[in-house]
Amino acid sequence: MLSQRWLRLMPLHLMLLPALALLLIYSYGPITGILIAFQNFMPSKGIFGSPFIGLDNFKYVWDLPDTRQVLTNTVVIAFFKIILNLAVPILLALLLNEVRIKLFKRSVQTIVYLPYFLSWVLLGGILIDILSPSQGIVNDIIKSFGFKPLFFLGDPNWFRFTIVATDLWKEVGFNTIVFLAAVTNANPSLYEAAVIDGANRWKQTLNITLPSMLPVIILLATLSLGNVLNAGFDQIFNLYSPQVYSTGDILDTFVYRIGLIDTQYGVATAVGLFKSIISCLFISVSYFLAYRLANYRIF
Amino acid sequence: MAGQTSFSRIVFNIFNYGFLALLSLMALFPFLNVLAVSLSNKSAAAAGLVKLWPVEFTFASYRFVFLRDEFFTALGISLERVLLGAALSMLVTVLAAYPLSKEEKAFPGRTLYAWIFVFTILFNGGLIPWYMTIKMTGILDSLWALVLPGAVQVFNCLLLLNFFRGLPKALEEAAFVDGANHWTILWRIFIPLSTPVLATVTLFTVVGHWNSWFDGIILMNSPNHYPLQSYLQTVVVKMNTSTFANIDPVQARLLSEISDRTVKAAQIFMATIPILLVYPFLQKYFMAGIVLGSVKE
């Protein structure tokens, strides 16, 4: 009996084997690799031969003049992205919900959704072209109104704005569609009752449509908490330059430069570990809140 | 919903339609401008005459890209990576999602396994250990470096397992009575019943591979081995390769019409075309996907 049960369960273990092996090597391997953060890592000696130096890498980074600025940049950019990527799609979903012409509604959705599917390499290439102060079309328009051209990607005062705005351009379609799906969840009989009670569209939106979206809003809001330190490596890496490090350099780009350009492996791993630990806390809290507030379970 | 046609409603509608149309135009505007630049003569582009319509229309920039090898070599590597990567990823992910969708009672150990998967979302080693690990497994500078490390898509796996769990238990039990084993049940019952969600996940995996660029730059030693997006990153964004290096006489004849800028614009647009072709389907399946699996209430 026991062996028969074993035979029956064997395939289940076998099915998991390839994924487990890959995770063990390529996800848990790097997790073991965080030992490098506590070492004066030398590639020639490897992870088992390099000397351990305790928390020296962390102390070193903390004393660097740039570190606190990088941390501030990361949190500020991520914060504005989180807020706008929730607020604007909610507004858009509500406005699209008022559109009665199906073709128009679908066209707007499809157009707004397009940048979401393109890489930051392509979008970066497009933005570098259109935002160029000398030949970009955006500055041509600004100049035609008699203003001076703006260095959207080269001026530290404009860089964060450009990053948050262009991120919105890429991401807005995704959440809009999720919220729009939530809008259609509202019970039609509620609207009929509201019309009989004399509620106008504005009242209906406020008292029926928005509350029916609330579970999804809460869910996406709590889940986005996990992104407080994700300011968007792909985007910033493709758009920044040394002139805007003061407002645009973030943890991930900082790690990249320390680690892969300056080859200070130990220091870069220490910064990465710091980010991983904080992110892990935030993601755990966000899942817990999503579970408590929106009844969301990961598995 | 009753169609109110009060005055305020009409005013609202005019503004609403106008605003949404303007917004769509703004979202589309950068693409149209770059497309117009790619189809314009270099002097018109440099003089800032090109808005949404090509000026002194020419295909020269595209002809130039077609005459050179770089773009198509990179495109070939991208296609290889998309095919191999998506196939491998789907195989591994579906195979893992099935056992994980079982109840702990039916498959002792399932919860432990599930946590091993989920932990990798919560915590990772960071860039340097990731690179070191891939280097240690000896796959740097090969196609495997682009497909193996990310093959297990834990989020997709969770989406699939949640979908599998919603399938009627009776089907599985009946199949067991008929003498089927888990392999047959997965292949004959679960997979056919999950085509919409599998299509969604496959399309997202394909687009993910198509759009990846950073791993190519870090894990490939020479630019000749870069997939398309990595190649474009060096050309369009970092600008550390000259567009007109090693030019031959046939290509040189196009120089009167093209500039660095128009050629870049042409390459950007060419890399966008595949996405333009598949993303309307993605949108449709994506809707099915969110209704089916990810957002549970």
For residue B187, give the CATH number of its domain.
1.10.3720.10
Q: Is the pLDDT of residue B291 over 60?
A: no
Residue numbers in A near B30 (CB within 8 A): 126-127, 130
Q: Is the pLDDT of residue A102 over 50?
A: yes
Residue numbers in A near B134 (CB within 8 A): 26
Residue A2 — very low, low, confident or very high, per pLDDT cuts 50/70/90? low
Residue numbers in B near A284 (CB within 8 A): 122
Nearest to B127 among A98, A140, A256 (CB): A256
Residue B293 — very low, low, confident or very high, per pLDDT cuts 50/70/90? very low
In a domain, B223, yes or no: yes
Q: Is the pLDDT of residue B290 over 70?
A: no
Question: Are residues B177 and B36 part of one domain?
Answer: no
> In total, how many domains does chain B have?
2
Q: Where are the domains of chain A?
A: 16-54, 56-294
pLDDT digits (tens, 9 = 90+) for B189-224: 999 999 888 988 998 899 999 999 999 999 999 889
In a domain, B192, yes or no: yes
In a domain, B7, yes or no: no
Q: How far apart are CA B65 and CA B270, in angstroms?
A: 10
Cβ–Cβ below 8 Å for A126 and B34: yes
Question: Are residues B161 and B211 part of one domain?
Answer: yes
- Domain span including residue B35: 28-58
Residue A182 — very low, low, confident or very high, per pLDDT cuts 50/70/90? confident
Q: How far apart are CA A79 and CA A64, in angstroms?
A: 24
Other beta carbons less than 10 A from residue B234's beta carbon: 19
What is the model's pLDDT at position B288? 58
Least confident interval from A210-224, A261-275, B18-32, B105-119: A210-224
Question: Are residues B253 and B115 part of one domain?
Answer: yes
Q: How far apart are CA B126 and CA A265, in angstroms?
A: 11
- A98: contact with B, CB 8 A cutoff: yes
Q: Is the pLDDT of residue A265 over 90?
A: yes
Nearest to A181 among B134, B211, B290 (CB): B290
Question: Are residues B51 and B178 part of one domain?
Answer: no
DSSP string spanning A58-115? HHHHHHSHHHHHHHHHHHHHHHHHHHHHHHHHHHHHHHHHT---HHHHHHHHHHHHGG
Question: Are residues B262 and B201 part of one domain?
Answer: yes
Question: Are residues B148 and B51 part of one domain?
Answer: no
How many angstroms separate the CA of residue A285 from the nearest CA in chain B?
11
How many angstroms separate the CA of residue B253 from the nearest CA in chain A?
25
Residue B281 — very low, low, confident or very high, per pLDDT cuts 50/70/90? confident
Nearest to A183 by CA among A89, A103, A107, A257: A89
How many angstroms separate the CA of residue A65 from the nearest CA in chain B?
22
Q: How far apart are CA A9 and CA B104, in angstroms?
A: 12
Residue A230 — very low, low, confident or very high, per pLDDT cuts 50/70/90? very high
What is the model's pLDDT at position A233? 96
What is the model's pLDDT at position A261? 92
In a domain, B260, yes or no: yes
Cβ–Cβ below 8 Å for B152 and A23: yes
- A111: contact with B, CB 8 A cutoff: yes
Q: Is the pLDDT of residue A154 over 70?
A: yes
Residue A170: which residues within 8 A CB-CB, separation 6 or more? A115, A116, A118, A120, A123, A235
Question: Are residues B290 and B225 part of one domain?
Answer: yes
- A99: contact with B, CB 8 A cutoff: yes
Q: How far apart are CA A215 and CA A238, in angstroms?
A: 35
Q: Is the pLDDT of residue A34 over 60?
A: yes
Name the CATH topology of A56-294.
MetI-like fold (1.10.3720)
Residue numbers in A near B187 (CB within 8 A): none
Q: How far apart are CA B192 and CA A106, in angstroms?
A: 30
Nearest to A60 by CA among A246, A269, A252: A269
- A25: contact with B, CB 8 A cutoff: yes
DSSP A297: -
Dihedral sign of CA atoms B73, B93, A85, A111 in order: positive
Hey, is A39 helix, strand or coil?
Answer: strand
Tokens standing for residue B297: 């209430």
DSSP B106: T
What is the model's pLDDT at position B297? 32
Q: Is the pLDDT of residue B139 over 70?
A: yes
Q: Is the pLDDT of residue B295 over 70?
A: no
Q: Is the pLDDT of residue A253 over 70?
A: yes
How many angstroms separate the CA of residue A102 from the nearest CA in chain B?
12
Tokens standing for residue A74: 């990361």
Q: Is the pLDDT of residue B36 over 50?
A: yes
| 8 A C-beta contact, residue A266 and residue A40 | yes
In a domain, B14, yes or no: no
Closest chain B residue to A12, measured at CA: B99
What is the model's pLDDT at position B200? 84
Question: Are residues B150 and B206 part of one domain?
Answer: yes
Cβ–Cβ below 8 Å for A272 and B271: no
What is the model's pLDDT at position B296? 38
Q: Is the pLDDT of residue A135 over 90?
A: no
Nearest to B51 by CA among B25, B69, B77: B25
Give, rounded to a whole angstrom, the gap between the first and last alpha carbons of chain B.
Answer: 26
What is the model's pLDDT at position A293? 86
How many angstroms separate the CA of residue A271 from the nearest CA in chain B?
9
**Mean pLDDT score, B227-243:** 84
| 8 A C-beta contact, residue B100 and residue B157 | yes
In a domain, B97, yes or no: yes
Question: Are residues B160 and B32 part of one domain?
Answer: no
Structure-token match 């005055």, residue found? B7
Question: Are residues B43 and B92 part of one domain?
Answer: no
Question: Are residues B99 and B45 part of one domain?
Answer: no
Hey, is A52 helix, strand or coil?
Answer: strand
Nearest to B37 among A108, A129, A255 (CB): A129
Question: Are residues B141 and B34 part of one domain?
Answer: no
| 8 A C-beta contact, residue B161 and residue B103 | no
How many angstroms separate the CA of residue A19 from the nearest CA in chain B?
6
In a domain, B52, yes or no: yes
Nearest to A33 among B2, B102, B129 (CB): B129
Closest chain A residue to B297, measured at CA: A295
Nearest to A117 among B113, B207, B232 (CB): B207
Mean pLDDT of chain A: 92
